[in-house]
Amino acid sequence: MKKESVFIETYGCQMNEYDSDRIINALNATPTNVAENADIIIINTCAIREKADHKAVSAVGRYNKLKKNKPELIVGMSGCVAQLYGKKLLKDMPYLDFVLGPRGIPQIPKIIKDIRSENNHRPIETSMDVQDVFDITPYHKKDKVAGFVSIQQGCNKKCAYCIVPTTRGSEINRPINEIISESKYLVELGAKEITYIGQTVNSWKHNRLRFPSLLDNLQEIDGLERIRFTTSFPKDITSKMISSMKKNSKVCKQLHLPVQSGSNKILREMSRTYSIEWYKQRIEMLRDEIPDIALSTDIIIGFGSESEKDFQETMDLINLIEFDTVYSFKYSVRPGTPGEKMKYHVPDNKASKRLSILQERQKEITFKKNCDNLGKIIEVLIEGYSKQNRNDLYGRTTYNKVVNVKNINDSNIGKLINVKITEATQNSLIGEQV
Ligand code: SF4
C-alpha cells in the first residue's frame, strides 16, 4: 500500500521539531516539503508567545484553500496551541479536521483512520493521562551530522509566565536504556553530534540515576563525537554536573542557562526559585572548572512590576557576565498562567524601549566575543553546505558558534577539522581549513 505523504509546518522550539518527526514515524508516512503534494497537512504549534500562537492559527486558514481542489486532504493542528484551546479551535475553524495535544502523538494513526472512515468526524485528543510519551521515536534523516534526542517531556517548575506546564504536562523522564538506544541509532545513521533535549534537561532523573551519570554514560557511545544538552534550569546546576561536563571530553563547552531577569524582585514574581546571587555563583563555578565555556541565556523584559531599577539590574548582569548570546523577548501574557492574574503590567512602549536597549548592548558584546576568535585555530564539526555560498561548508565549534569554511571539499561533511578564523560577523565566523 502506498504510504501517505505528510507536510508538517513546525513552530517553536526543538521539542516541537522533534515532535513533528515523531508524528511522521507514528503515521509511517513519507514527509514532503510541498504542501500541495500532501495527503495530510499538520500545523505543529507553539503557544509560548501570543505572536507564535496567532501565526499558527492563520496557517490553518491558508492550507484550507488547498482543500477546495483536494477534498480528501486532511488538515490538523498539533502542539501547544492545540492543547491550550482544544475544542474551541474546531468550533472556530470548521475546516480543521483534528486537534492533537503534544501527549497525544501515539494516537495519530487512529485519528487519521477514524477521519477517513467516518463522515464529519473531527477528533480531538488532548488528554494528559498518557504516560507512554516516548513510545514513538522520531523519523531521523540519514547522514544528518547533528541530531536531537528527547530525554524528558513536560515540566514540574511553575514559572509564573510560562504556558509549558499546562500544554505539555508534568515532567516525565525517559529511561536511560531508551536514550542510549536512540542515540546509537542516530550514530548508525551518520550523526556525530547529539543535543539532548528537555524543558529542564539537567533535572533529568530515572530510578537512582541523575543527569551527571547520564552524561557519563553518553560519553561511552562509540562514534558519537559531541554531546550538547538544552535547556538547563539554574537551580539544578550541581557541582557533580559541572565535574561531569568537565571530565567527559565529548560534552561541548557550552551551556544555555536562562536567567530571565537580573532582579531578585522580578525573579520572585516569576517564581524562578533562585536568586541572582545563586545564578552568579553557578556561573563562577562553571567558569572556574571550564574557563572557556560559552554561555547563553534567555531574558524576559517587562514582566510584572519591572521598574527602571529592576531593568538596570538586568543590564548590570548582562555587562558582568558577558554572555555569548542572549535570547531576549518582551513579556507576553499567556492564558491560564499565574502571570495573567498579576495586577502589574509594564506598558508596551516602555518594554519595547528596554528590550531594544538590551539588544543593542548585547549585539556589541556578541560581536566583541566573535572578534576574540580572530586568528585562532578552532575545531569545527562540518555539518553541510553554507547557505551563503555552495562552495563553502558550515559547521559549529564546541562553543556552538557557526563557522563558514571557505573553498573546502564536501568530503569534509561529518568530520571534525581545524579551521583558522579569518573574519568575524555579528552572527558567525568565517575561516579556512588548516
Ligand atoms: S522551567 Fe519554567 S520557563 Fe522553563 S518550561 Fe518549566 S515552567 Fe516554563
What are the boundaries of each domain within the chain? 5-125, 146-371, 377-433
The alpha carbon of 414 and the centre of ligand 1 are apart by a number of angstroms equal to 34
Looking only at the bridges linking them, the beta strands covering 5-10 and 40-45 are parallel
Q: Which residue has the higher pLDDT, 243 or 93?
A: 243
Give how far Cα 55 sits from Cα of 45, 49, 50, Å. 9, 10, 9
Q: Which residue has the higher pLDDT, 56 or 169?
A: 169
pLDDT digits (tens, 9 = 90+) for 241-282: 999 999 999 999 999 999 999 999 999 999 999 999 999 999
DSSP 43: E
CB atoms within 10 A of CB 71: 6
Give the residue carrying C-alpha cell 579556512.
432
- By the 10 Å C-beta count (0-12 exposed, 13-18 middle, 19+ buried), 113 is classed as exposed
* Domain 146-371 and domain 377-433 have a common topology: no
- pLDDT at position 177 is 96
Q: Is the CB of 270 under 6 A from ligand 1?
A: no
**Domain 5-125, what architecture?**
3-Layer(aba) Sandwich (3.40)
Burial profile 224-234: b = 16 or more Cβ within 10 angstroms, e = fewer: bbbbbbbbbbb
Q: Is the CB of 157 under 6 A from ligand 1?
A: yes
Residue nearest ligand 1's atom 1 by CA: 157
The alpha carbon of 199 and the centre of ligand 1 are apart by a number of angstroms equal to 7
Percent of the chain with pLDDT over 70: 99
Q: Is the pLDDT of residue 131 over 70?
A: no
Name the packing angle between helices 239-247 and 276-289 (round to 10°). Answer: 30
Average of per-residue pLDDT values in the chain: 94
Note the CATH number of domain 377-433: 2.40.50.140
Q: Is the CB of 154 under 6 A from ligand 1?
A: no
The alpha carbon of 51 and the centre of ligand 1 are apart by a number of angstroms equal to 19
Say which range, 138-142, 188-192, 329-333, 357-361, has the weakest mean pLDDT: 138-142
Mean per-residue pLDDT for 412-434? 97
Ligand 1 atom closest to the Cα of residue 231 is 4
Which span out of 128-132, 262-266, 389-393 was modeled with the highest average pLDDT?
262-266
- pLDDT at position 140 is 86
Q: How far apart are CA 71 and CA 64, in angstroms?
A: 10
CATH 3.80.30.20 given to domain 146-371: yes
Mean per-residue pLDDT for 395-410? 96
Q: Is the CB of 162 under 6 A from ligand 1?
A: yes
**Contact between 99 and 125 (Cβ < 8 Å):** yes
- pLDDT at position 193 is 98
Give the residue carrying C-alpha cell 560519553.
219
